[in-house]
Amino acid sequence: MHPNQPSDGHQPTKAPGAYSLAEILSQPQSWASCLREVSESGILEQVRDQFINCDDYLFMGCGSSYYVALCAAATMTAFTGRRARAIPASEILLYPELVLAATKHFLPVLISRSGQTSEVLQAAELLRSRSIPTLAISCAEGQALEGLASLTITLPSADEKSTVMTRSFTSMLLILQALAAKIGNNAEASERLARIPELATPSLGTLAEKIRAFVAQHRSADYVCLGQGPFFGLACEYALKVTEMSVSYAQAFHTLEFRHGPKSIVAPEVLLIFLISGQGRDAECEMLEEIKSLGGTTLVVANHANNRVRASADFLVDLSVDAPEIALLAPSLVPGQLLGLYTGLKKGLDPDTPRNLSRSVILGDASHKTEHAAL
């Protein structure tokens, strides 16, 4: 029996989206628990010491886990100065020689909330057949992935009852960021990441009601999510959360790429979500102001927003956290999760159980007839 199922086999009566909302709001506590667990276990030091000679990192997953990979790869390079890439697990299955060409002393990192996503398992098997050691990260203990990987980080306290990934995404990301800081011997980054649950809690505490009110007041036909550098993976996940939880059409672009053709869709009924970075703030503000001048509706997520951001944001989430921008990836995702949740509820849907989706993509299993984009 699945641990999230009641003992009598019947799903309890609950309000639509109740699981997702509780899991989104519990994220600071989940981050603190996961950070404490890996600290006590010493697993990050074990990974660092076992793979000390690696100078290349290959992060892979499917759906949301691929977007975790994008953010984790950016963090690894930022904290270590070493090469890191992110790919969908399917890439190494269909084009292994393109993925593995000229790679030496590298560490593949396999990401799967369930530990049983078929394409990730197949990737693990392929790498094992070539005698390539691997690291896995999952939120489920004792699953098939753990048996295929050389080392596994498990975060059971971050698992969810809902279909869609929320706290599992941010928790796995934060732990992979902590691993990058450990590998890079970056004590300052390690200290800041350890304090993220505490530092982010004040700004996230009132966010749910504010986004619920914004969604209630605005009618959006389409959604565009924009981010650069380490925030591009978050932009992709924003789009996926809106798509999954509200069955809406959402796209993701690198912020400055949006002006090269896609900006033709800008209109008041299109909600444009900007993830404003610190490093690219001036260029991204120019893009934000351009979109606002074209009549777009804007939702902006920033840290310590300046006057230019405030003037062009129809709705602003200012995290106001004293931390490097790359340490703020996990908290920066929370507004997108809430946007997807409340948009789904406004449309009369249950974001906990989106149509056509299941918690795991297990190919060839008759009990899973459709693929879930988020594991």
The per-residue pLDDT for 371 is 37
Amino acid at 104: K
Residue 316 forms part of a structural domain = yes
| Residues 225 and 303 both lie in one domain | yes
| Residues 178 and 231 both lie in one domain | no
The per-residue pLDDT for 368 is 38
Residue 133 forms part of a structural domain = yes
With a CB cutoff of 8 Å and minimum separation 6, the contacts of 297 are 218, 220, 268, 269, 270, 271, 272, 314
Q: Would you give the end-to-end CA distance of the chain in angstroms?
A: 20
Distance CA 344, CA 19 (A): 14
Going by C-alpha positions, the residue among 282, 281, 287, 286 that lies closest to residue 253 is: 287
**In which domain, by residue range, is 101 found?**
18-199
Residue 373 forms part of a structural domain = no
| Residues 277 and 143 both lie in one domain | no
The per-residue pLDDT for 9 is 53
| Residues 33 and 73 both lie in one domain | yes
The per-residue pLDDT for 362 is 62
| Residues 210 and 322 both lie in one domain | yes
Residue 7 forms part of a structural domain = no
This prediction's pTM: 0.92
Strand 135-138 to strand 106-111: parallel, antiparallel, or no bridges (unpaired)?
parallel
CATH code, 105: 3.40.50.10490
Going by C-alpha positions, the residue among 153, 198, 184, 191 that lies closest to residue 34 is: 153
Residue 368 forms part of a structural domain = no
Distance CA 277, CA 274 (A): 9
- Decide if 159 contacts 132 (C-beta within 8 A): no
For the segment 93-121, what is each residue's pLDDT rounded down to a tens digit? Answer: 999 999 998 778 899 999 999 999 999 99
| Residues 193 and 231 both lie in one domain | no
CA dihedral over 326, 332, 337, 340, signed as positive or negative? negative
| Residues 103 and 194 both lie in one domain | yes
Residue 35 forms part of a structural domain = yes
The per-residue pLDDT for 116 is 92
Distance CA 333, CA 315 (A): 15
| Residues 175 and 218 both lie in one domain | no
| Residues 215 and 174 both lie in one domain | no
Q: Which residues of the chain have pLDDT under 50?
A: 1-7, 366-374
| Residues 54 and 132 both lie in one domain | yes
Residue 190 forms part of a structural domain = yes
- Decide if 234 contacts 227 (C-beta within 8 A): yes
The H-assigned helical ranges of 26-166 are 27-41, 43-50, 64-80, 89-94, 96-100, 118-129, 144-148
The per-residue pLDDT for 14 is 82
Domain end (from 168, 199, 230): 199
| Residues 160 and 39 both lie in one domain | yes
The per-residue pLDDT for 7 is 45
- Decide if 158 contacts 348 (C-beta within 8 A): no
Residue 331 forms part of a structural domain = yes
Q: How many domains would you assign to the chain? A: 2
Whose structure tokens read 């988020």? 374
| Residues 187 and 84 both lie in one domain | yes
